[in-house]
Amino acid sequence: MRRFFSSMKRYFITGIGTDVGKTVVSAIVAEALNADYWKPVQAGELDYTDADKVQEWISNKRTKIHESSYALKTPMSPHAAAAIDGITIDLEQIREPRTPNDLVIEGAGGLLVPLNEKDTMLDLIKKEYKILVVSRHYLGSINHTLLTLSELKHRGFEVAGIIFNGNTSKTTEDIIEKQGRVNVIGRVLEETSINSGIIRKYADQFKPQLDRLK
């Protein structure tokens, strides 16, 4: 990826797997910081992409939604979706958008989701990024969360914080915070629906913690 506007802060939103709430959290962080949003690789749901959802949920006037570098037709692992489309994902073609604004970058799936035969989502993360991990509560999520945190730290990355998704599970959150040695930004509860009001509510809650990361 090429680098532009070195003073611009970049927040990379990753998760412990698929459907854990990365898009909702990305919208919350973008709303809290009036930051731009970019999802480098979108696989499937091209009629209503994650970028479309964030655009719908954002209420501030500053956030700009940037086009994905790859928009793949099939909701599968990017490497497999790309193969169906008859292409190979090339990291050199994934370029950060030019913007003077802060930027929220949403990953696809988890860290080790393959982009091609040798690169994974982890290869899109740069040392200067502020990494936020989304952990959704389910049976096995402690293991998946600690493995995600461990892999990031093993690769030399500093994790800026974790955001839990799902109704409160104190024992789960406490052990992840303690064993993962990670800063907890906040929690998104189970909501019956997501709209701009819900996103704004959590943006206001998380903003003090997010501002400390700058």
Q: Is 64 a catalytic residue?
A: no
Which of 40, 54, 41 has the alpha carbon at shortest distance from 97?
A: 40
Q: Which of 9, 22, 39, 201 is catalytic?
A: 39
Q: Read off the DSSP letter of residue 124.
A: G
Query: Bridge partners of 41?
Result: 70
Q: Which tokens go with 108?
A: 């696809």
Q: Which long-range contacts (CB under 8 A, 24 or more apart) does 149-157 make?
A: 149/176, 149/180, 149/182, 150/180, 151/111, 151/112, 151/122, 152/111, 155/122, 156/127, 157/125, 157/127, 157/129, 157/131
Residues 33/8, Cβ–Cβ less than 8 Å: no
Please give the positions annotated as active site: 39
